[in-house]
Chain A
Amino acid sequence: MKKTKNILLVEDNSDDEVLTLRALRKNRIDNPVVVARDGAEALDYLFSRGLYADCSKSELPAVIFLDLKLPKIGGLEVLERLRLDQRTRLLPVVVLTSSREEQDVKEAYSLGANSYIRKPVDFNRFLDEVGQLGNYWLNLNEQPCQ
C-alpha cells in the first residue's frame, strides 16, 4: 500500500503559512499539509497526544518544514526532542526560517537538521526554493521504512 506522504509545516506566522501553502500549490505539490502553529502542537501531533491523542491512525509526515522562532517551544528544542525519540529519530527536518545567524545554522545541524533554508524576501525566489524542496524531499529522496 502506498503511503500518503504528509508534510508537517510548523509555522506561527499566518502570512508565512499562507505564502508557503501558496508556494506549494503553485509548484503543484498536492500532498496533505498539516500545519502546527507552535512547537508544542507540532510535538503533540508527532507523538499523538493532546489534541491529536485520538488520531489513532495519524501517520508520521514525510518531511517537516520547521520554523525556528516559535511560541511555547522553540524550533531548535522541537528538533532536539524529535531526535531523542526512537520513532522520529530519522524524520527529515528542513529548517525554514528567516535567520541566517551562523549560530542558528550550526546549532540546527548539530541537532540533526537535514537542511537549512533561509526564506528569501523575494517571493519568486521563495517559490522556486519551495518547489525544489518539495521535489527533493517528496520525490527524489529515499527514506528508510518506518
Chain B
Amino acid sequence: MKLRYKFNLLALGVLFTVGIAISVAGVFTIEQLAYRMNRKLMEAEVVKVLEDIHSAHKVLTESGVVAVDSYVRRAQADILDKYRGFRFGRTGKMQILAKPGSRQLLPQLAKERNPDIFYNEIADQVAQGFWQHEHGKKSLFHYHASFPAWNWIVLMSVDVDEMLAERNAFLSQVGWILFLGLIVGLLIFAWFARTIAAPVQQLSEAALAISYGDWEKDFPQSDAVDEVGDLTRAFSQMLDRLLAAQSDLEKQAKALQNTNTRLHLEITEHQQTQQDIFHLNQELEQRVIQRTSQLKAANQELEAFSYSVSHDLRAPLRSIDGFSQALLDDYGDRLDEEGQEFLRRVRAASQRMAQLIDDLLYLSRITRGEMIRQPVDLTGLAELVAHELQQNNPQRQIEVVIQPNVIADGDPRLLRAVLENLLGNAWKFTGDREKGRIEFGMEKIGPQQMIHFPRSRFIMYKTMAQVSIRLMRKSCSGSFSACIVSTNFPAPVSDSLPCNVLFIAMEVRSGLMAKLEKVRGSFLLCNGQLK
C-alpha cells in the first residue's frame, strides 16, 4: 500500500475513533441527564399530587369529619376529578390507584383496575421510588408514592422513548457531523496526498532511483506555490546540475581512461625501450669485449712483430757488418782505398739501419702503455736528456740553456720521449759545428695565433734557429713531418706573464705521430700547419 494512503487512513482512523469516543461519552452524559431531569420532574409532579391529598386529608382532620364517609368520599372524588386526564409531556400519565385489597369508599377506585399496572410489581416496591417496566412493545418508566391514610398509590408513567428523545436527537446529529467530517477529512487528505505526499513520494522515488544510478527515470515537476513545490523545483535543479556534473564526470572519466590507456601504452613503450636499451647495452658490452680482445690480439700481434723485427731483421745486418769487417780485416790489403771505403759505407749503412730498427722498437714500446696525466717537470727532464746527450758525445762542445720552472701536464714517459727526440735532433743537426747552443724554454702564444703561425716564429720555444729551419725543410721534403705539440700548463713561469700554453716543436717520424694522435687530450697535433 502506498505511503500516502497509509498516512491518510491512519489520520482518518485516529480522528474517527476520537470522534466516536466523544460521541459515546456525549450520549451517555445526555442519557444520564435526561434520566435525572425526568426523575426530578416526575417526583415533583407526584409530590404535588400527594401534597394536594395531604391538604384535603388535613382539612377533613381539622374539621373533625375524617371519619365521616360522605365527606371523605367527596374530598376523594374532588382529587380524582382534579387529576383526571392529567398529562405529562407527550406520553406521561398520572394515575391514582387503590392498594389492592383495601376498603375504598369510591366505587370507581375499587372497580377501576388498570390492566396496564401490575399491582404485584408495585407491591414489591418500597413506599415510593422509580422502576422500569416492559409493557408489551413499549418500555415504561414509573414513579410511585403511596398515601397510607387512604390506601392510595399515586403512579406516574412515562414512555422511555420520549424520555430519551434528546439523546436520540443528539445521537443522530453527532452521526451526521461525523459522517460529514469523514467526507471532508477524506477530501482534505486526498488533497494533501495529491499536493504534498505524492510529490514527496515522487521525490523519494527519484532520489532512490538516482542512488541506484538510474538517471533515465522521469523526474517530478511541480508548479505548486509551497515548500514542497520549492523542494521539488530545488530538487529538479539539483538534479539538472547533478546530471551536468555526472556527464562532466563521465567525460572526465572517459578522458582519464584515454589518458590511462595512453599512459599504459607509453609505459609499455618505455619498458620496451628500456629493454631495447638493455639489449643494446649488452650488445655494446659484448662488442666492447670483442673489440678489446681483438685489440689485445692486435697488440699481441704487434708485439710478436716487434719481437721478430728485433730478432730477424738484425741478424742479416749483423752478418753484413761482420763479414764486411772480416773482409776489411783479412782481405784489406787486396783492396784499394776506394774498396775499403765502400766496405766502410756498407758497415755504416747496416749500423744506421740497426739504429732505425731500434728507434722503431723504442717508439712502439713507449706508446704501448696506458697514458697517465700528471704535472711533469719539463726543466728537470730536459736537463736529464741533455746530460745523457753530453755523456754520449763528450767531444762536442754544446751550450745547453734550459729555462727553469717549465712544468707541463701530461704523461711523463711520453713527454720524455718528446724531449729526447727534440733535444736529440737539436743535438744531431748542430753536429756540423764545433760549438753549438741549444735553448729550451717556452713563451706564451695563444692557440689561435699558433694556427696562423708565421714560419719565423716557429722558433719560439727555442731550439736553435738553424735547427728549426732545418726541420722545416725536412718537413717539406716529405720524408718527415713536423708538428707542434701543445699541452696545458698549470703553473706560471718565472716571468711576469701568466703562461698557460707550452709549445714544443719537434721532429718526429710519421709512426710516432700516428701514435701520438691517439693520445687525445694531452697532445694537440697541428699537422700541416707549418708549410
* B contacts with A: majority SS: helix
Q: Are A99 and B325 interface neighbours, CB within 8 A?
A: no
- Give the docked Cα–Cα distance between A126 and B319 (Å): 12
A31 at the B interface (CB under 8 A): no
Q: Are A16 and B351 interface neighbours, CB within 8 A?
A: no
Contacts A15-B319, A123-B322, A123-B325; A98 near B307 (Cβ below 8 A) = no
Interface residues on A, range: 10 to 19
Give residues of chain B (342-357) contacting chain A, Cβ–Cβ below 8 Å.
Answer: 347, 350-351, 354
A53 at the B interface (CB under 8 A): no
Q: Are B321 and A121 interface neighbours, CB within 8 A?
A: yes
Give residues of chain A (109-146) contacting chain B, Cβ–Cβ below 8 Å.
Answer: 119-124, 126
B180 at the A interface (CB under 8 A): no
Contacts A15-B319, A121-B354, A126-B318; A97 near B311 (Cβ below 8 A) = yes
- Give the docked Cα–Cα distance between A100 and B311 (Å): 9
Instruction: Find chain A residues with CB under 8 A from B324 CB.
Output: 123
Contacts A98-B310, A101-B307; A19 near B315 (Cβ below 8 A) = no
Q: Are A69 and B321 interface neighbours, CB within 8 A?
A: no
Instruction: Find chain B residues with CB under 8 A from A69 CB.
Output: 311
User: CB-nearest residue of chain B relative to A124?
Assistant: B325
**Which one of A22, A98, A101, A123 lies within 8 Å of B314 (CB-CB)?**
A98
Min CB distance B364 to A, Å, is 11
Instruction: Find chain A residues with CB under 8 A from B354 CB.
Output: 120-122
A4 at the B interface (CB under 8 A): no
Give residues of chain A (82-119) contacting chain B, Cβ–Cβ below 8 Å.
Answer: 97-101, 119
A13 at the B interface (CB under 8 A): yes
- Give the docked Cα–Cα distance between A69 and B311 (Å): 8
Q: Are A99 and B310 interface neighbours, CB within 8 A?
A: yes
Instruction: Find chain A residues with CB under 8 A from B325 CB.
Output: 123-124
Instruction: Find chain B residues with CB under 8 A from A119 CB.
Output: 314, 318
- Give the docked Cα–Cα distance between A78 and B324 (Å): 32
Contacts A121-B350, A121-B354; A98 near B315 (Cβ below 8 A) = yes
Q: Are B311 and A99 interface neighbours, CB within 8 A?
A: yes
Q: Are B319 and A16 interface neighbours, CB within 8 A?
A: yes
Q: Are B314 and A121 interface neighbours, CB within 8 A?
A: yes
Q: Are A126 and B314 interface neighbours, CB within 8 A?
A: no
Contacts A100-B310, A101-B307; A123 near B315 (Cβ below 8 A) = no
- Chain B 235-259, CB-CB to A under 8 Å as 1, else 0, gives 0000000000000000000000000
B265 at the A interface (CB under 8 A): no
Q: Are B318 and A16 interface neighbours, CB within 8 A?
A: yes
Instruction: Find chain B residues with CB under 8 A from A22 CB.
Output: 322, 326
User: CB-nearest residue of chain A relative to B365?
Assistant: A102
Q: Are A15 and B311 interface neighbours, CB within 8 A?
A: no
Q: Are B318 and A15 interface neighbours, CB within 8 A?
A: yes
Number of A-B contacts (CB under 8 A): 57
- Give the docked Cα–Cα distance between A69 and B324 (Å): 24
Q: Are B319 and A122 interface neighbours, CB within 8 A?
A: no
User: CB-nearest residue of chain A relative to B307?
Assistant: A101
- Chain A 10-26, CB-CB to B under 8 Å as 1, else 0, gives 00010110010010000
Min CB distance A115 to B, Å, is 18
Instruction: Find chain B residues with CB under 8 A from A99 CB.
Output: 307, 310-311
Min CB distance B413 to A, Å, is 14
- Chain B 313-331, CB-CB to A under 8 Å as 1, else 0, gives 0111111011111100000
- Give the docked Cα–Cα distance between A124 and B314 (Å): 16
- Give the docked Cα–Cα distance between A122 and B322 (Å): 7
Q: Are B319 and A19 interface neighbours, CB within 8 A?
A: yes
**Which one of A98, A100, A126 lies within 8 Å of B322 (CB-CB)?**
A126
- Give the docked Cα–Cα distance between A126 and B321 (Å): 10
User: CB-nearest residue of chain B relative to A97?
Assistant: B311
Contacts A121-B350, A121-B354, A122-B351; A15 near B310 (Cβ below 8 A) = no
- Give the docked Cα–Cα distance between A129 and B451 (Å): 51
Min CB distance A137 to B, Å, is 22
- Give the docked Cα–Cα distance between A126 and B306 (Å): 23
- Chain B 285-317, CB-CB to A under 8 Å as 1, else 0, gives 000000000000000000000110011001111
Min CB distance A21 to B, Å, is 11
Instruction: Find chain A residues with CB under 8 A from B323 CB.
Output: 15, 19
Instruction: Find chain A residues with CB under 8 A from B319 CB.
Output: 15-16, 19
Instruction: Give 27 CB contacts A-B under 8 Å.
Output: A15-B315, A15-B316, A15-B322, A15-B323, A19-B319, A19-B323, A22-B322, A22-B326, A98-B311, A99-B311, A100-B310, A101-B306, A101-B310, A119-B314, A119-B318, A121-B314, A121-B354, A122-B347, A122-B351, A123-B318, A123-B321, A123-B324, A123-B325, A123-B347, A124-B325, A126-B318, A126-B322
In the complex, the 3 A-B pairs of residues with the closest C-beta atoms, listed nearest first:
A121-B354, A15-B319, A123-B322
Partner-B contacts on A (CB < 8 A): 13, 15-16, 19, 22, 69, 97-101, 119-124, 126
Partner-A contacts on B (CB < 8 A): 306-307, 310-311, 314-319, 321-326, 347, 350-351, 354, 361
Not counting A16-B318, A120-B318, a sample of 20 additional A-B residue pairs whose C-beta atoms are within 8 angstroms of each other reads A15-B322, A15-B323, A22-B322, A22-B326, A69-B311, A98-B310, A98-B314, A98-B315, A99-B307, A99-B310, A100-B310, A100-B361, A101-B307, A119-B314, A120-B354, A121-B350, A122-B351, A123-B321, A123-B325, A126-B322
